Amino acid sequence: AISYDEEVGCLGVRGLIEELNRKTMNPAMCIVGEPTSMQPVTAHKGKWSYKGIVTGLECHSSLAPQGVNAVEYASEAIVFLRKLMREKIASGARDEMFDMPHTTVHTGVINGGSAVNIVPNKCEFDFEFRYVPADNPAEIMAQLTDYIRNELEPQMKAVSAECGFELVERSVIPGLEIDPGHEVVRLAKSCAERNDHGKVAYGTEAGLFQEMGDIPTVVCGPGDIAQAHKPDEFLALDQLAKGGQFFERLVNRWSAAA
């Protein structure tokens, strides 16, 4: 199957899985060909991504205490997210098979303000959680929401009732976790001619095939994630060859079984 917009929330595959469900088609298994250096991957982290929209009260900077600085309040929320990250590192759930063994909390984008002499009335920031299977992302989100509603917004609304936060969901991608002894994992290992398996911190469509479609899924494909999301992405020729050999073996074994 071919999907689209995987990078911006795994958008395309959702409709594909819904169509499979409507037609009561039940694939026996799924192999997602993301770059794993041909190592079968049995688990990856899930991701929740949100946009925070902060509404403040604009005024001249010489009268700053009379305004509500949207950038500063956004920054307080971001610092709180950083605190949650430190807590996850220090005492959160861990799975040492992941290259990053704990849940991560990250703010990647912030925009706000128009001039240094104006108290800004708008600020937006994008943040995400990438969580290990033992963590519940809803609990992390609840901690942030409670802090905003109980600590930050009362201060803002004391100046103007129109001020506050809006948290908008951008994408939710479930994690993947499958028993390493499952048939699809054994098949992937056999076709890759490997005996090992791993877990990865990045997300793929595999979690959606497993959660939405109830399809046993493993991730295995040519290339290294270290080359992704940077200038001059590349796929090594030896990896390309190994990927071709993997899928040739897969087709031959399914054909023989049929």
Q: Which two tokens stand for residue 118?
A: 């104006």
Domain assignment present for residue 257? The answer is no
Instruction: Please indicate, yes or no, if residue 228 is contained in any of the structural domains.
Output: yes
User: How would you classify the pairing of strands 118-119 and 59-60?
Assistant: antiparallel
Q: What is the mean pLDDT of the chain?
A: 90
Among 173, 190, 225, residue at a domain's last position: 173
Q: Please indicate, yes or no, whether residues 54 and 166 belong to a single structural domain of this protein.
A: yes
Q: Which residues contact residue 207 at a Cβ distance below 8 angstroms, ignoring those fewer than 6 apart?
A: 44, 46, 173, 174, 175, 176, 217
Q: What is the pLDDT of residues 30-68, one digit of tens each?
A: 899 889 999 999 999 999 999 999 999 999 999 999 999
**pLDDT over 80 at 158, yes or no:** yes
Check whether residue 162 and residue 183 sit in a common domain: no
Quickly state the pLDDT bin for 249 (edges 50, 70, 90): very high
3-state secondary structure of 257: helix
Claim to verify: residue 194 and residue 240 sit in the same structural domain: yes
Residues 38 and 79 in one domain: no
**pLDDT for position 7:** 61
How many whole angstroms separate alpha carbon 202 and alpha carbon 37? Answer: 14
What does the pLDDT average to over 137-143? 95
Give the whole-number percent of the chain exceeding pLDDT 70. 93
Question: What pLDDT was estimated at residue 255?
Answer: 81
User: Do 125 and 82 reside in the same domain of the chain?
Assistant: yes
Task: Domain of residue 76: give its range.
Answer: 46-173
Report CA dihedral (245, 35, 200, 49) to the nearest 10 degrees.
-140
Q: Are 39 and 68 contained in the same domain?
A: no
The number of distinct structural domains making up the chain is 2
183-235 tens-digit pLDDT: 999 999 999 999 999 999 888 888 888 877 788 999 999 988 777 767 888 88
236 in a structural domain: yes
